[in-house]
Amino acid sequence: MSPVLDLLITRGAAVAAWAVWATLAALPLARAGERALMPADTPAVYLQECGSCHLAYPPALLPARSWQRVMSGLAQHYGSDATLDAASTERIGRWLQAQAGFSRRVREEPAEDRITRAPWFLREHRKVDAAVWKHPSVGSASNCAACHVGADRGRFDEHALRVPPGLDARLQRAWKD
Ligand code: HEC
Ligand code: HEC
């Protein structure tokens, strides 16, 4: 991609994502969480293909470089083969670049290009016991929808949380405050 095009797309993404992430960068996260993170122009192919094994993650939760690596490594995708036809890969990849996160908290590339390894994620979930992530009704931290009722619509606010079934009182601590 030409440097100019690259700059245009980055700037475009900045404007589009700003509405969502401005609050996250500057205000308590609770406020940002109340906004839906799935952009209005989310392509059906993204929901279909990238939402078949797990949640179709909101693009603003990873920086552009991370999405680029995810999309160019689909053959070895976190232990799975997630390859797609070239046209879908191209379509999804371009959209992810345009909608990628850019805010101060998101632009740092997390380990393994995982949302769940980002410092902001770990901070927001610090009260969730390690045993909760591995509980059979959760599986892993990547399974946002186990706890965030509106996750498929890009909603992650504290008012749309549920306790996954089977957690004892001690493990429910993070939901209590
Ligand atoms: C095991 C349950 C669980 C899973 C899985 C989970 N979360 Fe959470 N999440 C919580 C809880 C509980 C809180 C509230 C923590 C607190 O207030 O101390 C929270 C808080 C958040 C917040 C802050 C919301 C606010 O209004 O302050 C965001 C954003 C968030 N989660 C995103 C995600 C994303 C994205 C994923 C998946 C990649 C995910 N979470 C997976 C339980 C979970
Ligand atoms: C064949 C199943 C499959 C498909 C299709 C798939 N993924 Fe995944 N993906 C996985 C698995 C498995 C994980 C690891 C989940 C875990 O650690 O619990 C994962 C994890 C991820 C993560 C990291 C989540 C975290 O922990 O923060 C991202 C980002 C991601 N996928 C993006 C995509 C995108 C984009 C697509 C579409 C191009 C896609 N996935 C399609 C299986 C799939």
Tell me how many domains the chain contains.
1
Cα–Cα distance measured from residue 71 to residue 77, given in angstroms and rounded to the nearest whole number: 9
User: Residue 18's domain spans which residues?
Assistant: 3-176
Q: What is the pTM of this model?
A: 0.87
What is the b/e burial string over 111-131, where b = at least 16 CB atoms within 10 angstroms of the residue's CB?
A: eebbbbebebbeeeeeebeee
| Residue 144 Cβ contacting ligand 1 at under 6 Å | yes
pLDDT of 8 over the 90 cut: no
CB 151 within 8 A of CB 144: yes
pLDDT tens-place string over residues 52-95: 999 999 999 999 999 999 999 999 999 999 999 999 999 999 99
pLDDT tens-place string over residues 106-137: 989 999 999 999 999 999 999 999 999 999 99
CA of 135 to the centre of ligand 2 (A): 19
